[in-house]
Structure 1
Amino acid sequence: MRARARVAFPSFSWISKTPSRFVAFGLGSGLIRPASGTWGTLLAWILWLPAAHWLGDLALGLLIALAIVYGCWACHRAGQELGEPDHVGMVWDEMAAFWLVLWLVPSGWVAQLCAFVLFRVFDIVKPPPIRYFDARMKNGIGVMWDDLLAAAYALLVMAIAVRLGAFQ
């Protein structure tokens, strides 16, 4: 696993000065330490619950696509301003990727908890080719891409579990 550079953690005041910073830092959840990515993913799950209740599948899919596209730009911009393209506090990539997972897994809390754990494991461990892209793509797309790959791994395992009769 690649060690992240030690760049000072910005303050809430700094991230709240621009929408791109606030989004990149997961609405502030990326400032929580340790395990910023896990806190951001947890916030994503909390925000998902009312959204999934009130919005239909098409609206959720469109919002996820928008979150991914805007997140690429916001993370790139915030990374440039910090001088660290993938600062550990930038967790919007985890949030958007986990929303994709939640959109595609069964809606029960057990399935969602399993998806949460799987996503975090794949995001932290970074099995191939996730580690390859994480180490080489130093821009907003790269920040988002490794988390989308972790989401794909989590979704694959969840699909196998569902096929084998889990979550019924």
Structure 2
Amino acid sequence: MGPFHPAVLIATGLGSGRLPGWPGTWGSLAALPLAWLLQGWLGPVGLAGAALLAFLVGCWASGVYVAAGPDSDPDPSPVVIDEVSGQWLTLVVAPREIAWYALGFALFRLFDILKPWPISWLERRVPGALGIMIDDVAAAAFAMAILVLAVNWV
């Protein structure tokens, strides 16, 4: 399967997951301008819908990517559609301001990297494409909770 196959393009966040170093961070960064546009055009509900769509399409694309994959990793690092979906979900509760988006980005990456329980449990126990995607939804839920507290506290 070539790099321009639709499943590969989706799974790798239009190739952002193939950038060197930190593919998850690159995927999350790539998601930010799209979230900004989506939230501006469609509001928070539209961004939530886009996150859900990214989750559903991401389950398909990551499953195809893993099935055709060059290695046996059940969650290959170039697959970052899970970060895109999780980042968008996190930003649903963020005011459309650069500082809040930056905090949402940082919180999502923190929870996605550290994977406190139950995120780590989901990553280990849920198999396949759903397993690739679901731990990032859980990381987004943690990030959203703190972001909501911060937005209401400031």
Question: Normalised by the size of structure 1, how large is the TM-score?
Answer: 0.84
Measured in 1, the distance between the counterparts of 2:105 and 2:43 equals 22
Q: Tell me if the contact between 2:36 and 2:96 (Cα under 8 Å) persists in the aligned partners.
A: no
Query: Displacement of 1:162 after TM fit?
Result: 2.1
Q: Return the alpha-carbon distance in structure 2 between the equivalents of residues 56 and 132 of structure 1.
A: 33
Q: In the aligned structure 1, how far is the partner of 2:80 from the partner of 2:149?
A: 28
1:15-54 matched pairs, under 5 angstroms: 15-16=3-4, 18-54=5-41
CA RMSD of aligned residues (A): 1.5
Query: Which position in structure 2 is the counterpart of 1:80?
Result: 67
Query: Do 1:30 and 1:89's aligned partners in 2 also have CA atoms closer than 8 Å?
Result: yes
Residue number among 27, 44, 58 corresponding to 1:71 in the alignment: 58
Q: Which runs of 5+ in 1 are unaligned?
A: 1-12
Whether 1:60 and 2:47 are equivalent positions in the alignment is yes
Unaligned regions of 5+ residues in structure 2, if any? none
TM-score (norm 2): 0.91
**1:73 Cα deviation from its structure 2 partner:** 1.3
Contact kept in structure 2, 1:15 and 1:25, CA below 8 Å: no
Count matched residues: 152
In structure 2, the partner of 1:130 is 119
Q: Which moved more, 1:58-67 or 1:32-41?
A: 58-67
Letter in 1 for 2:16: S
1:52 is displaced (CA, Å) by: 2.2
1:14 aligns with 2:2: yes
Paired letter, 2:3: I
Does the residue aligned with 1:104 lie in a helix, a strand or coil?
coil
Note the C-alpha offset of 1:57.
4.0
